[in-house]
Amino acid sequence: MGSNGAGTKILLLGKIDHAQKTWDALSDVGELVKTGASNRTEFLQECREGKYDGVVAIYRTFHSISITGLIDEELVNALPSSLKYMAHCGAGYDMIDVHACTARNPPIRVSNVPTAVDDATADVNIFLILGALRNFNGGMHSLREGKFIGQTPVGHDPRGKVLGILGMGGIGRNLKKKAEAFGMKVIYHNRRQLSEELSGGAQYVTFDELLATSDVLSLNLPLNKNTRHIISKAEFAKMKDGVVVVNTARGAVMDEAALVEALDSGKVFSAGLDVFEEEPKIHPGLMNNHNVILVPHMGTWTVETMTSMEVWAIDNIRQALETGKLKSPVPEQADM
Ligand SMILES: O=CC(=O)O
């Protein structure tokens, strides 16, 4: 049982859907245990009763929020003192209060899954850009209502349009390459300007320039306290008339009510959304607007990508238990 010795437990929060063999093989570094809780109250109760004592690592999925709720300070402090690692199976880890994990004594080291999500998420991004520019949602809707072409406003070509990418991480950079194949000119804004090599020659602009010059604005930045509602009423006012807005990041990086207003006024021509502020609740102003193309958080919803993500997250646990270091710690804890 590796260097961790007898008694090391690994807790699964959520489900392994694809990489079951890889998960089962982890039993050579620890005992694999599950939760019996079905909601936060039960989970907290079990933690306080010592049910998870000896758990050294947790593997969690996006949907395990339905069991534990947010991994906030209250929950972090209720988790067993044996816990050292939390491997999140996803790129975005906004559900986890990393600061509380770092501050706990002993700290909990957190990892996410970068890279493996990039291709599939950027593919959905392209689907939404094309769908929103071309008004495919309106067309598909009319067809099902028995009205053929001619009922839907004429769309726009991607070729020659300026795509502004807000957040030039792995997904943003992947999207850049794909969008160029459709003839789009890519500009970006990011906390830090990237090297020429990393940005692939995309032009770096200020946040305000990005808002003012994009024909299509794509949101590809993580959600945190600095990015919540980074796109709101004032930002829509700075955009071009008839802009297209696309979001595959997290719903709350944009003020959804402000988007609905901007769509209703015609400021925004159309939108393509994979993520929503209060998932799975969708703002009725989006639901009822056939100009917007809506997808239920399907960015990484492919067998291949989900398998890679699960294997990656499991590898984080294996590596942590075998070497004392996670494979892909979250950036906030990179120096720990
Ligand atoms: O939303 C999906 C992810 O964060 O991986």
pLDDT for residue 252 is more than 60: yes
Radius of gyration of the chain (CA): 22
Instruction: Looking at the CA of residue 300, tell me the nearest atom of ligand 1.
Output: 2
The whole-number pLDDT of residue 122 equals: 98
- Closest ligand 1 atom to Cα of 117: 5
Q: What is the DSSP string of 91-107?
A: S--TTB-HHHHHHSSS-
> What span, in angstroms and rounded, lies between the C-alpha atoms of 128 and 141?
16
Q: Which two tokens stand for residue 191?
A: 């906390």
Q: Which pLDDT does position 55 carry in this prediction?
A: 98
Strand order in the sheet with 9-13: 31-34, 9-13, 55-61, 85-89, 109-111
Q: How far apart are the CA of 157 and the centre of ligand 1, in A?
A: 29
> For residue 92, which atom of ligand 1 is closest to its CA?
4
Query: Best substitution site from 300, 301, 328, 330 to test ligand 1's pocket, by max atoms within 8 Å of Cβ?
Result: 300
For position 139, what pLDDT does the model report?
93
Q: Rounded to the nearest 5°, which phi and psi values hold at 294?
A: -120, 135
Distance 328 CA to ligand 1 centre (A): 15
Instruction: Specify whether the CB–CB gap between 84 and 106 falls below 8 A.
Output: yes
State residue 78's pLDDT score. 97
Ligand 1 centre to CA of 92 (Å) is: 5
Is it the case that residue 290 has pLDDT exceeding 50?
yes
pLDDT of residue 3: 45
For 244-261, what is the mean pLDDT? Answer: 98
Q: Is 172 in the pocket of ligand 1 (CB under 6 A)?
A: no
E strand or H helix at 232: none
In this structure, are residues 14 and 64 in contact, taking their beta carbons and an 8 Å threshold?
yes
| Residues catalogued as catalytic | 250, 279, 297
Q: Residues 266-278: what's their mean pLDDT?
A: 98
Residue 132 has pLDDT above 50, yes or no: yes
For residue range 66-104, list pLDDT tens digits in order.
999 999 999 999 999 999 999 999 999 999 999 999 999
ipTM higher than the 0.90 cut: yes
Determine the average pLDDT of the residues in 281-293: 96
The architecture that CATH gives domain 118-294 is 3-Layer(aba) Sandwich (3.40)
Identical fold between 3-116+303-333 and 118-294: yes
pLDDT at 6: 61
Average pLDDT, the chain: 96
- Residue boundaries of the structural domains of the chain: 3-116+303-333, 118-294
CATH superfamily name and code, 3-116+303-333: NAD(P)-binding Rossmann-like Domain (3.40.50.720)
135 lines ligand 1 (CB under 6 A): no
Q: How far apart are alpha carbons 135 and 29 in whole angstroms?
A: 52
Ligand 1 lined by 169 (C-beta under 6 Å): no
Would you say the CB of residue 300 lies under 6 angstroms from ligand 1? Answer: yes
> Does the beta carbon of 308 sit less than 6 angstroms from any atom of ligand 1?
no
Asked if residue 30 has its Cβ within 6 Å of ligand 1, the reply is no
